Structure 1
Amino acid sequence: MTRERKEAMASRYWAVSLPVPNSASQLWNQFQERISKHSFDTPLYRFNIPNLRIGTLDSLLSLSDDLAKSNNFVEGVTHKIRRQIEELERVSGIDTGALTVDGVPVDSYLTRFVWDEAKYPTMSPLKEIVDGIHSQVAKIEDDLKVRVSEYNNIRSQLNAINRKQTGSLAVRDLSNLVKPEDIVTSENLTTLLAIVSKYSQKDWLSSYETLINYVVPRSSKKLYEDNEYALYTVTLFSRVADNFRTSAREKGFQIRDFEYSPETHENRKQELDKLVQDQERLRASLLQWCYTSYGEVFSSWMHFCAVRLFAESILRYGLPPSFLACVLAPSVKSEKKVRSILEGLTDSTNSAYWKTEDEVGAGMAGLAGDADAHPYVSFTINVA
């Protein structure tokens, strides 16, 4: 993620809910006032969760067992798509700035969250909503795997060709280094290509004419040199070519099989051009798909977080639903202050209960998805 994009949004938010003793508006005002006074660098927002269909307590308990696991899956797919976007943008040399969801920046979508009633009817059972989100995200993940695999396949083919064109002379494609005039081909004569160690060139030049009989004198010409090897031609009678290969190998010189063909060279060039065009097309298509899919998955994830916060609040505070849901982004240095403010806003008896009953506290903290027990529902939303 670029520096500009990181600065445009917080990377970590807390989703919390507090029990409402009397008035939600009064509690919200108290929360804002204390944050402003003691942790003014912590952005604070209402998390607007509609009245969802609760169902039975057994169904809610059963659902809570899967909420953290499902959240990890949806969050994981979100990050996977974001990382793919970053890689594609880096390779393409582009930077679109902040990612968006439904046309607004990610942080704005989260902090001004509005439930999509058309997509997730509030009268649907919570399990149906959760299963629907999981299925939708799983389908997008499968589609991502197929598209990335297709793109990576083209990249692998291009990388293989590039290695042949830029690697050591011992393995690279020689067609770009050899010209028609470098090759002598007649009824009796042939030209071979020798790969000579960079430090054995004097040995080659002094010995190639005498490796066997019927080598054309002074026929060896250097065509190219890299960090390890030099490429030489040598012309000789065709009938002794195999014997020359054997003698050269015994002296530590490698004879590369090569047959110059203008048609083959042109076909390889056309194949390379097509692969480059295919790679650019697939990269652009994959990047556009990732932009769209990221928005879809992030939106699904935020709806999932709303369901999770709602379900855990019911299990924590009981019925009828009476809680204040918020999203805040404390800095690392402000975390303790914010936790203290949250505890202060929670009923003192309840707070003391949570601090002393370790076993029960640990169990309910598991429902909230955080390692520490708190007298309120709290879990982290890692956006980046």
Structure 2
Amino acid sequence: MASRYWVVSLPVQQGSASAASLWNRLLEQISRHSFDTPLYRFNIPNLRVGTLDSLLALSDDLQKSNTFVEGVSHKIRRQIEELERVSGVESSSLTVDGVPVDSYLTKFVWDDAKYPAMAPLRETVDTIQGQVAKIEDDLKVRVAEYNNVRSQLNAINRKQSGSLAVRDLSNLVKPEDIVISENLTTLLAVVPKYSQKDWLSSYETLTSYVVPRSSKQLHEDNEYALYTVTLFSRVADNFRTTARERGFQIRDFEYNLEAQEGRKQELERLMRDQENFRNSLLQWCYTSYGEVFSSWMHFCAVRVFAESILRYGLPPSFLACVLAPSVKGEKKVRSILEGLCDNTHSAYWKPEEDAGGMAGLGGDADTHPYVSFTINIA
């Protein structure tokens, strides 16, 4: 599957025979000189032309509108790739109405039920923009909901996985590690790993009324070790102060089984919510990508139609094609297209040197004597 396509239109004489003849000539030239370049017809219905003034006004907005619709398409695609990566699922082939996106482009059929061909072109463009804008708004809301749950989970995980100086200690301390009585209390000390010998040799003398040999190591990480120490409650504040002066951190901690169980349930709920939001968002993205891509291709058809009339004049008489040349073959394909283009039908086109580098219409800096723009679908 190619990811980069050209959509072009070449001027033809009136009558289907001329269009068919030009197609056959193009097909023969591509087959002979650039056989590795896929070539397809881009079927555009007879859309409502309107006035020249309306076409000129529409042309001014076409590239900006195209950038918006294309941007939303890529935004959803990137979101799909991120969700698939996080979920660990195999990347799936994106589809439009059950058809792979590249096939939808190369076998494009105008949906007259969704976009009536006889509607004014401005109305069709505004409809496409409105539909895509609504999808973009929905995407923002759904992504925000998903990211909110992720942020809450990340905050919990940081507390669970940070160093002993900052992490939540509730899952490291068991009821039997704590002594709580009318006179006694157990403190939790975070000791730098290089200071463990100092702690063990000095904790009993940091203040009076420390229970001898009461310190026990509960856990250690790359930087710190977690120790308990039991002492009389009335000297706890003195112990904290002296310990801090020696480089030992006393963590505030209260063992509460009910609160610990509540935190566990909250974590499980957030994990379920994250999974549900992620799956829901991924399925929505699959569907919405197809809708946006379909809208984008209809927009491209309007763009080809409008720019071809502005380039070649009335009545509409042009051949629209989709090509997927390789990087090496681009120059040759351009040469073939220009060779088949009758410059007398490009009344509005001037060579680049005569137009200040902005020849052509639609703001594409199109320097070719035919309508041409690029579609990047990945």
TM-score (normalised: structure 2): 0.96
User: Whole-Å Cα distance in 2 between the matches of residues 137 and 322 of structure 1?
Assistant: 30
1:297 paired residue number:
292
**Counterparts of 1:172 and 1:213, CA distance in 2:** 29
- Contact 1:44 1:329 survives alignment (8 Å): yes
Instruction: Establish whether residue 15 from structure 1 lines up as the match of residue 7 from structure 2.
Output: yes
Q: Which residue of 1 is the match for residue 188 of structure 2?
A: 193
The amino acid of 1:237's aligned partner reads F
How far is 1:95 from its partner? 1.9
Equivalent residue for 1:127, pick from 91, 99, 122: 122
Deviation at 1:356, TM superposition (A): 4.3
Q: Does 1:87 align with 2:82?
A: yes
Residue by residue, what CA displacement relative to the aligned partner does 1:96-115 show, whole Å, maximum 9, x if unpaired? Answer: 52100000000000000000
Q: Which amino acid is the alignment partner of residue 12 of structure 2?
A: V
1:361 touches 1:374 (CA, 8 Å); kept in 2? no
Residue type of the alignment partner of 1:320: P
Could you tell me which residue of structure 1 aligns to residue 63 of structure 2? Answer: 68
Instruction: Give the C-alpha shift of residue 219 in structure 1.
Output: 0.5
Q: Does 1:382 align with 2:376?
A: yes
Residue 361 (structure 1) shift: 7.5
CA 383–356 in structure 1, closer or farther in 2 if over 3 Å, else same: closer
Give, in angstroms, the shift of residue 119 of structure 1: 0.4
**Is 2:362 aligned against 1:371?**
no
Counterpart check, 1:327 vs 2:322: yes
- Distance (Å, rounded) in 2 between the aligned partners of 1:361 and 1:67: 21
3-state SS of 1:309 partner: helix
Corresponding residue number in structure 2 for 1:345: 340
1:258 and 1:75 map into 2 onto residues whose CA distance is 54
Distance 2:93 2:352 in 1: 44
Query: Residue 268 and residue 101 in structure 1: after superposition, are their counterparts in 2 closer, same or farther (change >3 A)?
Result: same
Counterpart mapping for 1:222-237 below 5 A: 222-237=217-232
Alignment counterpart, residue 249 of structure 1, candidates 244, 252, 261? 244
Q: Give the gaps of 5 or more residues in structure 2.
A: none
- The counterpart of 1:27, out of the listed 22, 26, 29, is 22
CA distance in 2, matches of 1:341, 1:333: 14
Q: Which one of the candidate residues 66, 72, 77 is aligned to 1:77?
A: 72
Instruction: Note closer, same or farther for the CA distance 1:247–1:164 as it changes in structure 2 (3 Å cut).
Output: same
CA distance in structure 1 between the aligned counterparts of 2:122 and 2:345, rounded to whole angstroms: 29
Separation in 1 of the partners of 2:109 and 2:277?
34
Corresponding residue for 1:6?
none
Distance (Å, rounded) in 2 between the aligned partners of 1:357 and 1:283: 49
- Which ranges in structure 1 are unaligned for 5 or more consecutive residues? 1-8
Measured against aligned partners, the alpha-carbon deviations of 1:125-174 in whole angstroms (never above 9, x if no partner) come to 00000000001100000000000000000000000001101111011000
Whole-angstrom CA distance in 2 between matches of 1:58 and 1:351: 18
**Inter-partner Cα distance in structure 2 for 1:359 and 1:145:** 45
Cα deviations by residue, 1:351-384 (Å, 9 ceiling, x for unpaired): 899564634474443x244334100000000100
Whether 1:163 and 2:155 are equivalent positions in the alignment is no
Shift of 1:176: 0.7
Aligned to 2:102: 107
Conserved? CA contact 1:368–1:377, under 8 Å: no
Shift of 1:93: 1.0
- SS of match in other structure, 2:217: strand
The one-letter amino acid of 1:168's match is S
Are the structure 2 counterparts of residues 357 and 241 from structure 1 closer, same or farther at C-alpha, using a change threshold of 3 Å? closer
Code of the residue aligned with 1:222 in structure 2: it is Q
Confirm or deny: 8 A CA contact 2:351 2:367 kept in the other structure.
Answer: no
CA distance in 1, matches of 2:20, 2:38: 18
Aligned amino acid, residue 378 of structure 1: S
Structure number with the higher helix fraction is 1
Amino acid at match of 1:14: W
Amino acid at match of 1:19: P
Q: Among the aligned pairs, what percent are the same residue?
A: 82
Alpha carbons of 1:59 and 1:354: their partners in 2 closer, same or farther (altered >3 Å)?
closer
Q: Contact between 1:354 and 1:361, CA under 8 Å: does it hold in 2?
A: no
Provide the rounded CA distance (Å) in 2 between the counterparts of 1:275 and 1:181.
Answer: 29
Contact 1:49 1:115 in 2 (8 A): yes
Computed over aligned residues only, the root mean square deviation of the Cα atoms, in angstroms, reads 1.5
Q: Tell me the secondary structure at the aligned position of residue 328 of structure 2.
A: helix
Q: Distance in 1 between the 2:101 and 2:153 partners?
A: 35
> What is the alpha-carbon distance in structure 2 between the residues aligned to residue 122 and residue 354 of structure 1?
27
Q: Which string of whole-angstrom CA distances, capped at 9 and with x for unpartnered residues, describes residues 219-254 of structure 1?
A: 100000000000000000001111111111111110
Q: CA deviation at 1:350?
A: 6.4
- For residue 246 of structure 2, what is the amino acid of its counterpart? K
SS in structure 2 opposite 1:333? coil
Match of 1:266 in 2: 261
Q: Which amino acid aligns with 2:203?
A: Y
